[in-house]
Amino acid sequence: MPLRFAAALALPLLAAACGGGSKHAATTTTGSKALSQAGFVQAGNQVCIRSDRRVYQIGRLTRDPAGWLKTANAGRVGIAEMKALTPPADKQTEFRLMLTYAQQLVDAIQSVHDHLANKQFDAAISAQFRAARLQDKTHAAAKNLGLTFCQQNLTNWPA
């Protein structure tokens, strides 16, 4: 029987990992020129789209810890891609906040995996609820940044 969430989870922040596919050059946060707001939104949404596609290929999550580990790894890739972007100067604080929530979300997904692997089902469910709260925070930060696609729920989360 699959584990259930009270709320659908989304890894938009995962989705927070974008990069190519944009006609605007992606820049790193290590001193490179910031993207325009439109360029940032386009590049950030592309990161989220690629992340969602990676997660979709994993399939529906169940009590099998393997899918959770793959989802956590996909999240790590998404975060790395998102970190390669430099938002406009007035969006830096919110961007860092989104990345912080995204990392905490990935950590919570990893925790679900770890608890499932150890047959600690109650702890796994608690980690899922934590992930759901972090997903909401990540979505709110993505919304504030204008990253519309990054606000959507992932396609493999249990409902």
| Residue stretches of the chain with pLDDT short of 50 | 1-30, 156, 159
Domain boundaries, the chain: 14-151
- Tokens representing 87? 């938002």
pLDDT of residue 32: 64
Look up the pTM and report it.
0.77
Residue the block writes with tokens 């290590």: 30
By the 8 A CB rule, do 42 and 139 touch?
no
pLDDT of residue 106: 96
- Tokens representing 55? 């997660």
pLDDT of residue 149: 83
By the 8 A CB rule, do 36 and 69 touch?
no
- Tokens representing 18? 């974008």
Neighbour-count burial of 12, counting CB atoms closer than 10 A to its CB (0-12 exposed, 13-18 middle, 19+ buried): buried
